[in-house]
Chain A
Amino acid sequence: MGALTAPLDGAFVPAPVSGVEAVDADGEIVLVDEVTDRLHLLNRTAALVWQCFDGEASVAEIAFDLADGLGVPFEQILGDTLAIVADLVAQGVCSDGRAGSPDRSFDIPRRSRLLDEPPSD
């Protein structure tokens, strides 16, 4: 699971980690983690938040824009956004963009091996 490199507060800069595919289906999103072979189903609100992750904007900046665009109190959105970011970090699909995205490129499996022979260990 993911590890925090800094306290998760409004200054946290959420960034999707490599090896995660976002499958958008009519507003909801399924995150497909190719490294862990896990699926994470996000509701519409979480899907919108996820799409705001660019590795540059902080949680507070994202929450401000969400509050402004949706007409919802900033404090409420900030709290909700911090909570979902914490969940996504715990699931290992989001990291702190200020620390750089963790390199998982060597961990991404080649799908064609799934039906091949079992490992030799």
Chain B
Amino acid sequence: MTTGWATGDDGLSQVHRQDADEPVAVRRGIDRRSLIKRAAAAGAVAWTAPVIFDSLASPAAAGTCGAIFRVTLQMRDDGNCTALDVLQSTAANYVGNGACNGTASVTPPGQYTETVTDLASSLTLAQTCISLGASANCAANSSAAVSATLVAACTPSSGVTGCSTPLNFLAAAISSNAPNTCEKVQRGGATTTHITGITGTQVDFVQPSSTHPGHSGSYQFVVGCSCTFP
């Protein structure tokens, strides 16, 4: 691994790539005791509790999208994955029939700061560009595995400005009653019991096996348009 110190433009900062087998002090020609004594002599360190002031995501990790939209789909009694109903998402009530009722909608990962547009309930499922297959598994009282994918070369026909392909899933949620399920996953984050995978183009669910009618649940998706990824 590359080693060595380089003085920054400000004449003060120094950058060094640490290696476990290459102690800083040794490489700088100073042993540990000399380093400490020098710091003490310079008055640079009056002992206070050593702490990590802050830990944050690097600006280099930022991503951007041309637009971001959110879709909420209600499960159906017949479980027909091709005819899910689009719900109006709101921040306070993103799924009207599940345990997430009254909680905030799922949001994109923190590095995406664009405004999220909620698609209106007037749209059809096809207009959301999301497909959950043709099976009858999309009912809340099912325990089947269901995968959501993005329709190729599709952008929402209305409601979102500045959206161009490719689309990518940024986050997803699932909600149902009895048992109460309110799970949210962001891309790059940990999966959950009922959201078992999320990639840019696919979200994998395991249906919550609710004892309520098959419509007592919802999915929610956050989709980015023409995004860059860290």
- A and B are interacting partners: yes
Q: Chain A interface (Cβ within 8 Å of chain B)? A: 15-18, 20-28, 32, 37-46, 48-49, 51-57, 62, 65-66, 68-72, 76-77, 80-81, 83-84, 87-88, 91, 95, 97, 100-101, 105, 111, 114-115, 118-121
Closest residue of chain B to A111, judged by CB?
B60
Q: Complex Cα distance A55/B47, Å? A: 23
Q: Is the CB of A97 within 8 A of B20?
A: yes
Q: CB of B161 within 8 A of chain A?
A: no
Q: Chain B interface (Cβ within 8 Å of chain A)? A: 1, 8, 10, 12-21, 23-26, 32-33, 35-37, 39-40, 44-45, 47-58, 60-61, 166, 168, 199-201, 227-230
Q: Complex Cα distance A45/B40, Å? A: 11
Q: Is the CB of A55 within 8 A of B21?
A: yes
Given contacts A37-B57, A48-B45, contact A101 B21 (CB under 8 A): yes
Q: Is the CB of B32 within 8 A of A37?
A: no
Given contacts A52-B35, A57-B32, contact A37 B230 (CB under 8 A): yes
Q: Is the CB of B32 within 8 A of A22?
A: no
Q: Hey, which chain B residues are within 8 Å of A51, CB to CB?
A: 24-25, 35
Q: Is the CB of B52 within 8 A of A84?
A: yes
Kindly identify which residue among A17, A49, A65 contacts B20, using a CB–CB cutoff of 8 Å: A17
Q: Hey, which chain A residues are within 8 Å of B45, CB to CB?
A: 27, 44-45, 48, 70
30 A–B pairs (Cβ distance < 8 Å), ordered by A: A22-B24, A23-B13, A23-B15, A24-B14, A24-B15, A26-B13, A37-B57, A41-B53, A41-B54, A42-B52, A48-B44, A49-B50, A51-B24, A52-B25, A52-B35, A52-B36, A54-B32, A62-B32, A65-B36, A66-B36, A70-B39, A70-B47, A77-B47, A84-B49, A84-B50, A101-B19, A115-B228, A118-B168, A118-B229, A121-B200
Q: Is the CB of B201 within 8 A of A46?
A: no
B7 CB to nearest A CB, Å: 10
Q: Is the CB of A45 within 8 A of B49?
A: yes
Most buried by A among B8, B18, B33, B228: B18
Q: Is the CB of A25 within 8 A of B40?
A: no
**A contact face: mostly helix, strand, loop, or mixed:** mixed
Q: Hey, which chain A residues are within 8 Å of B58, CB to CB?
A: 32, 37-39
B36 CB to nearest A CB, Å: 4
A23 CB to nearest B CB, Å: 5
Kindly identify which residue among B24, B50, B199 contacts A81, using a CB–CB cutoff of 8 Å: B50
A36 CB to nearest B CB, Å: 9
Q: Is the CB of B50 within 8 A of A42?
A: yes
Q: Is the CB of A119 within 8 A of B37?
A: no
Q: Complex Cα distance A58/B109, Å? A: 39
Q: Is the CB of A22 within 8 A of B18?
A: yes
Kindly identify which residue among B35, B47, B230 contacts A45, using a CB–CB cutoff of 8 Å: B47
| Complex A-B, nearest 4 residue pairs according to Cβ-Cβ distance, in ascending order | A54-B23, A46-B50, A69-B36, A101-B20
Q: Hey, which chain A residues are within 8 Å of B19, CB to CB?
A: 16, 18, 101
Q: Is the CB of B57 within 8 A of A38?
A: yes
Q: Complex Cα distance A57/B20, Å? A: 12
Q: Hey, which chain A residues are within 8 Å of B230, CB to CB?
A: 37, 114
